[in-house]
Amino acid sequence: MTRHSRPVAIALVALLALAGVAATGCKSTPSSSAIAVVNGVEIPKTAVDAQIAQMKKASPASFEGTLGATVESQYRAQVLNSLIQLELIKEAAKTLNISVTAKQIDDYVSQLQAQYGGAEALATAMKSAGFDMASLRDQISNNLLADAVSSKVTTGAVTVTDAQIKAYYDQNKSQYSTPAQVHAAHILVATKDKALAQSLLAQVKAGGDFAALAKKNTIDPGSKAAGGDLGWAAPSSYVAEFAAAVSSMKVGDFRLVQTQYGWHVITLLGKKAASQQTLAQATAQIKQTLEQTARSEKFGSYISDLQKKAKIEILDAALKKIIDANTALSSGSTATTATN
């Protein structure tokens, strides 16, 4: 490989934001297994434990070191608060006559399977993230329910002004720029095979079929089938020596470069200069972003109102302290934003 490795976030972990909870019904006195009670419905401690266990499996390093215990407490508070909000969303869904069908869940699972390259690949990703299909379907159902409630309570026109769009563009110009890109192809051979690399360079300079030679000789599995074609990419996405070469080459040039991976016979197939979208070109996308942000904030206010009206008992004093502090901080930030 010639490009830097990039961290790949497992989309499944995002579903933890609204985790499943097995409600234990209404009781006058909370049972010993409860960690919170929302309008008489218990949230069991095991629901929080299960989510933390999944997080630890997906990202064990986050819980290690001297701050590991503090980090875990913060995550426990976040998970518990999400479970509380989920119970309120479920209650709201009943009031609004909203439900999620099995077909909706099936369709979502199918989309995930396509995203991961098939059912087997999804199963592997689920295993590494600590999911089984039953828990995945529960959490998909919860996410779809939350989305449906959000859509219902945030309907109506959202006003986004030209001034807001321009301000957002000015503050986020880098989001609407594309760095210079190159279209390169290479034939990679082992470090010990310098003579082979020199021979291949001579052949392609003499008019040899680059793609055919790449398919026969390259040891890069990622580009072998494509005849060494690496597609379009920013030079910075490659290791330093390779990046320097493709940055200075002209289209049609050939060059031999050594990197940590071995010897590369490189040809440059194309170049694109850096570009910047104008405000006019970016307006539609920015407007959509600002509308989505406004609806998200509106839904957040809706959930906050539900929490204020609900009878909520948090039975873990330490977690209650963290949640109360986070809520106060969030409320303060919202107030500051509103006054600016």
21 & 138 share domain: yes
pLDDT at 99 over 80: yes
Which of 16-25, 202-211, 289-298 is the least confident region? 16-25
211 & 322 share domain: no
Could you tell me the pLDDT band of residue 125, with boundaries at 50, 70 and 90? Answer: confident
Cβ pair 264, 256 in contact under 8 A: yes
Supply the Cα-derived Rg of the chain in whole angstroms. Answer: 27
Which pLDDT score is estimated for 28? 61
pLDDT at 15 over 60: no
In a domain, 165, yes or no: no
Q: Which domain holds residue 231?
A: 180-273
Tens of pLDDT, residues 139-167: 899 999 999 999 999 988 789 999 999 99
| 309 contact partners, CB below 8 Å, separation of at least 6 | none
Residue ending a domain, choose from 273, 296, 322: 273
Average pLDDT estimate for 292-321:
94
334 & 269 share domain: no
pLDDT at 318 over 80: yes
Q: What angle is formed at CA 143 by the lines to CA 140 and CA 148, rounded to 5 degrees?
A: 125
Q: How many domains does the chain have?
A: 2
d(CA 268, CA 246): 7
pLDDT at 214 over 80: yes
Dig out the tokens for 55 from the structure.
Answer: 């997080």
In a domain, 38, yes or no: yes
331 & 220 share domain: no
In a domain, 295, yes or no: no
Q: Which is more confidently placed, 62 or 259?
A: 259
15 & 149 share domain: yes
d(CA 258, CA 310): 65
pLDDT at 55 over 50: yes
d(CA 275, CA 10): 31
| 24 contact partners, CB below 8 Å, separation of at least 6 | 31, 33, 34, 41, 42, 44
In a domain, 63, yes or no: yes
Give Dmax over CA atoms of the chain in angstroms.
Answer: 87
Which pLDDT score is estimated for 17? 43
Which pLDDT score is estimated for 25? 57
Tens of pLDDT, residues 223-272: 999 999 999 999 999 999 999 999 999 999 999 999 999 999 999 999 99
In terms of Cβ atoms closer than 10 Å to its own Cβ (0-12, 13-18, 19+), residue 288 is exposed
In a domain, 149, yes or no: yes
Tell me the β-bridge partners of 233.
Answer: 182
60 & 121 share domain: yes
Which of 53-57, 201-205, 228-232 is the least confident region? 53-57
Q: Which is more confidently placed, 25 or 256?
A: 256
Average pLDDT estimate for 37-58:
91
Residue carrying the six token digits 């949230």: 43
Task: Give the CATH number for residue 237.
Answer: 3.10.50.40
d(CA 272, CA 181): 5
41 & 141 share domain: yes
Sheet holding 41-44, edge to edge: 41-44, 34-38, 312-314
d(CA 197, CA 323): 61
In a domain, 158, yes or no: no
35 & 99 share domain: yes
Cβ pair 282, 169 in contact under 8 A: yes
pLDDT at 11 over 70: no
pLDDT at 13 over 60: no
235 & 325 share domain: no
241 & 331 share domain: no
pLDDT at 323 over 60: yes
29 & 116 share domain: yes
User: For 264, which DSSP code?
Assistant: E
In a domain, 230, yes or no: yes
pLDDT at 330 over 80: no
Which pLDDT score is estimated for 26? 58
In a domain, 238, yes or no: yes
219 & 263 share domain: yes
Average pLDDT, the chain: 88
